[in-house]
């Protein structure tokens, strides 16, 4: 079987803070008006993506990896991660503020949850006027000071708020306290992990009238209490050229603004390549086949693709393992 470019059925997640933009803006087949996440590419147990196109339609991502390993993932990626797919790709619609939260690093996540840590990045696709993110603290704090503000219900006084517009990009390393604010729709690229420590939820109740679980004690040793200005990502938006956004041990992400036919050489990459479409539409081709992509869709190209040709008027996030 020749490995061609793959699309996958979205895995839609109802969330207390979700809305309807995943349908009205991105065309996802949501069934509730509180749909917060579309998991585009996932190998998280219990939420494994299935192919939606071609001869391998209805095959799970995990089955693809088990069958084709290096041809799909790349030799160096397979040697590093084995049959565990290292990336989780999502679109997120926050109608309300998300909880303030933090993610543990690899060592802590392995020890406590036998999981990867959760380094992630956000690309703002749409933001209502005045929308904000919480990213880090607004000053250096001590663990004791942080705990006191939690106890006093004033922890938001310590948070750093960032107003956002379309195209803004943020790198959220493990340990950084954060939250997506109301009115924001974004693309999220992260390590394969579903480990989140929720530390403050604005005293909201779920549809059963219960306060959501907090992970106050577990978060204490995961938080970086220093104020750091290391999260806003600058990148080139030059047409038909690679604009590197994030290059970290867990993933590399590039921005492409395609206005004319562009060929990307990936033979030496030795990694799968993912494209998330944030605007427009295009045809993506490899020697094994072609596929259409439009806003809100995600495509996975196997590591043996060698060259990738993009034709159309489109803005893409390109993701792979360096």
- Report the CATH number at residue 105: 2.60.120.10
Residue 17 counted as domain residue: yes
- Least confidently predicted of 67-71, 104-108, 291-295: 104-108
pLDDT bracket for residue 205 (50, 70, 90): confident
Is the pLDDT at 209 greater than 90? The verdict is: no
> Where among 220, 255, 271 does a domain terminate?
220
What are the tokens at 66? Answer: 């088990």
103-255-299 Cα angle (round to 5):
80
List, in sequence order, every residue forming a beta bridge with 162; answer none if it has no partner.
133
Are the beta carbons of 316 and 291 closer than 8 angstroms?
no
Are the beta carbons of 25 and 185 closer than 8 angstroms?
yes
Residue 135 CB partners (closer than 8 Å, separation 6+): 160, 162, 170, 172, 176, 178, 231
Q: In this structure, are 113 and 247 located in the same domain? A: no
* Number of structural domains the chain divides into: 2
Is the pLDDT at 1 greater than 80? The verdict is: no
Q: Which whole-number Å values give the CA distances from 172 to 53, 160, 180, 296, in the listed order?
A: 33, 13, 11, 22
What are the tokens at 157? Answer: 């006084």
144 burial type by CB count under 10 A (0-12 exposed, 13-18 middle, 19+ buried): exposed
Helix (H, G, I), strand (E, B) or coil at 73: helix
Greater confidence, 114 or 167? 167
Query: Backbone phi, then psi, for 277, in 5-degree steps?
Result: -95, 120
Binding-site positions: 103, 120, 178
Helix (H, G, I), strand (E, B) or coil at 219: helix
Is the pLDDT at 251 greater than 90? The verdict is: yes
Residue 158 counted as domain residue: yes
Stated pTM of the model: 0.96
Structural domain that includes position 54:
11-220
pLDDT tens digit sequence for 288-303:
999 999 999 999 999 9
pLDDT bracket for residue 256 (50, 70, 90): very high
Binding-site positions for Zn(2+): 103, 120, 178
Distance CA 155, CA 38 (A): 30
Q: In this structure, are 112 and 169 located in the same domain? A: yes
Q: What's the mean per-residue pLDDT of the chain?
A: 96
> Which is nearest to 74 in space by CA: 251, 302, 249, 317?
302
Q: In this structure, are 40 and 170 located in the same domain? A: yes
pLDDT bracket for residue 206 (50, 70, 90): confident
What are the tokens at 52? Answer: 């939606």
Residue 262 counted as domain residue: yes
> Where among 220, 252, 277 does a domain terminate?
220
What are the tokens at 206? Answer: 């779920």
List, in sequence order, every residue forming a beta bridge with 198; answer none if it has no partner.
101
H-run or E-run covering 81:
helix 75-81
Is the pLDDT at 273 greater than 80? The verdict is: yes
Q: In this structure, are 212 and 314 located in the same domain? A: no
List, in sequence order, every residue forming a beta bridge with 197; answer none if it has no partner.
102
Question: Residues with catalytic annotation?
Answer: 198
Is the pLDDT at 278 greater than 90? The verdict is: yes
């Amino acid at each position: 079987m020749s490995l061609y470019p793959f699309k996958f059925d979205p895995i839609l997640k109802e969330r207390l803070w979700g809305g309807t933009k995943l349908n009205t803006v991105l065309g996802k087949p949501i069934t509730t008006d509180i749909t917060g996440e579309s998991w585009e590419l996932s190998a998280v147990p219990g939420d494994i993506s299935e192919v939606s196109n071609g001869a391998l339609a209805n095959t799970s991502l995990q089955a693809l990896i088990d069958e084709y390993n290096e041809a799909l993932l790349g030799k160096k990626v397979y040697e590093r991660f084995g049959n565990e797919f290292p990336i989780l790709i999502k679109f997120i619609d926050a109608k309300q503020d998300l909880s303030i939260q933090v993610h543990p690093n690899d060592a802590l996540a392995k020890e406590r949850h036998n999981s990867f840590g959760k380094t992630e990045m956000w690309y703002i696709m749409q933001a209502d006027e005045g929308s904000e993110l919480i990213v880090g603290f607004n000053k250096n704090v001590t663990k004791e000071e942080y705990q006191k503000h939690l106890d006093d219900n004033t922890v938001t006084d310590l948070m750093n708020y960032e107003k956002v517009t379309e195209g803004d990009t943020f790198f959220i390393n493990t340990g950084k306290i954060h939250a997506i604010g109301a009115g924001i729709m974004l693309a999220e690229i992260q390590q394969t992990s579903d480990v989140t420590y929720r530390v403050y939820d604005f005293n909201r109740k779920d549809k059963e009238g219960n306060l959501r679980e907090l992970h106050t004690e577990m978060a204490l040793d995961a938080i970086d209490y220093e104020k750091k200005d290391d999260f806003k990502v600058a990148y080139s938006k030059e047409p038909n050229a690679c604009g590197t956004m994030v290059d970290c041990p867990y993933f590399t992400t590039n921005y492409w603004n395609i206005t004319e036919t562009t060929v990307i050489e990936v033979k030496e990459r030795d990694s799968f390549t993912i494209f998330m479409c944030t605007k427009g539409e295009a045809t993506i081709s490899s020697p094994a086949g072609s596929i259409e992509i439009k806003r809100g869709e995600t495509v996975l190209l196997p590591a043996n693709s060698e060259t990738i040709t993009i034709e159309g008027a489109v803005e893409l996030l390109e993701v792979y393992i360096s």
